[in-house]
Amino acid sequence: MTPFALSLVVLGVLAHFLPEWTRPDFFFGVTIDPALRLSDAGRHVTRSYRTILWTATIAAIPILLTTGPWEAALVQAGGFLVALSVAHRRVLVYAAAPPTTIEVDLHAPTEKFPGGILAALVPLLSSALLAWWASRHWDQLPLRIPTHIGLHGADRWVTRTTAGVYGFIGAQAALSMLCVLSAWGILHWSRRLSGRKADAALDRRFRSVNVDLFLAVAYLLAGAAWISLLKPEAAGLIGVAVMALIVVWYLLLIQLNRRTTTAALGDRTPDACWKLGMFYVNRADPSFFVAKRFGIGYTVNFGNRWAWVALGAILIAAVSRSLVR
Question: Total domain count for the chain?
Answer: 2
In this structure, are 206 and 125 located in the same domain?
Answer: yes
Helix, strand, or coil here: 25?
coil
Burial class (CB in 10 A: 0-12, 13-18, 19+), 106: exposed
What's the CA gap between 20 and 153, in Å, rounded? 33
In this structure, are 196 and 318 located in the same domain?
Answer: yes
pLDDT tens readout for residues 164-220: 899 889 988 988 998 999 999 999 998 876 556 667 777 888 889 899 999 999 998
Burial class (CB in 10 A: 0-12, 13-18, 19+), 58: middle
Crossing angle of helices 3-17 and 40-66, rounded to 10°:
170
Amino acid type, 114: P
In this structure, are 153 and 238 located in the same domain?
Answer: yes
pLDDT category of residue 264 using cuts at 50, 70 and 90:
low
Helix, strand, or coil here: 146?
strand
In this structure, are 174 and 316 located in the same domain?
Answer: yes
Indicate the average pLDDT of the chain: 84
Total count of residues recorded for the chain: 325
In this structure, are 231 and 271 located in the same domain?
Answer: yes
In this structure, are 169 and 276 located in the same domain?
Answer: yes
Question: How far out from the chain centre does Cα 210 lie?
Answer: 9
pLDDT category of residue 131 using cuts at 50, 70 and 90:
very high
Name the residue among 40, 95, 10, 26 with its Cα closest to residue 278.
Answer: 26
Q: What is the pTM of this model?
A: 0.82
The answer for residues whose C-beta is within 8 angstroms of residue 151's C-beta and 6 or more apart is 3, 4, 7
CB atoms under 10 Å from CB of 36, counted, come to: 20
The answer for residues whose C-beta is within 8 angstroms of residue 258's C-beta and 6 or more apart is 202
Q: Is the dihedral of CA 229, 232, 237, 240 positive or negative?
A: positive
pLDDT on residue 169: 92
The better pLDDT of the pair 127, 317 is held by 127
pLDDT category of residue 121 using cuts at 50, 70 and 90:
very high
27 found inside a domain? yes
DSSP string computed for 177-213: HHHHHHHHHHHHSBPPPP--HHHHHHHHHHHHHHHHH
CB atoms under 10 Å from CB of 211, counted, come to: 24
99 found inside a domain? no
pLDDT tens readout for residues 75-109: 999 999 999 999 999 999 999 876 666 666 666 77
Mean pLDDT across 282-311: 89
Q: State phi, psi for 130 to the nearest 5 degrees.
A: -65, -40
In this structure, are 170 and 285 located in the same domain?
Answer: yes
Q: Which of 94, 127, 155 is the last residue of a domain?
A: 94
In this structure, are 293 and 217 located in the same domain?
Answer: yes
106 found inside a domain? no
pLDDT tens readout for residues 150-163: 656 666 788 889 98
Crossing angle of helices 162-188 and 305-323, rounded to 10°:
160
In this structure, are 84 and 223 located in the same domain?
Answer: no
In this structure, are 66 and 189 located in the same domain?
Answer: no
What's the CA gap between 294 and 136, in Å, rounded? 49
111 found inside a domain? no
pLDDT category of residue 243 using cuts at 50, 70 and 90:
confident
Cβ atoms of residues 84 and 28 within 8 Å: yes
105 found inside a domain? no
Q: Which of 32, 62, 94 is the last residue of a domain?
A: 94
Instruction: Identify the domain containing residue 174 by its residue range.
Output: 116-323
In this structure, are 226 and 289 located in the same domain?
Answer: yes
In this structure, are 143 and 289 located in the same domain?
Answer: yes
The better pLDDT of the pair 323, 93 is held by 93
Q: Which of 94, 127, 161 is the last residue of a domain?
A: 94
Helix, strand, or coil here: 321?
helix
pLDDT tens readout for residues 46-72: 999 999 999 999 999 999 888 888 899
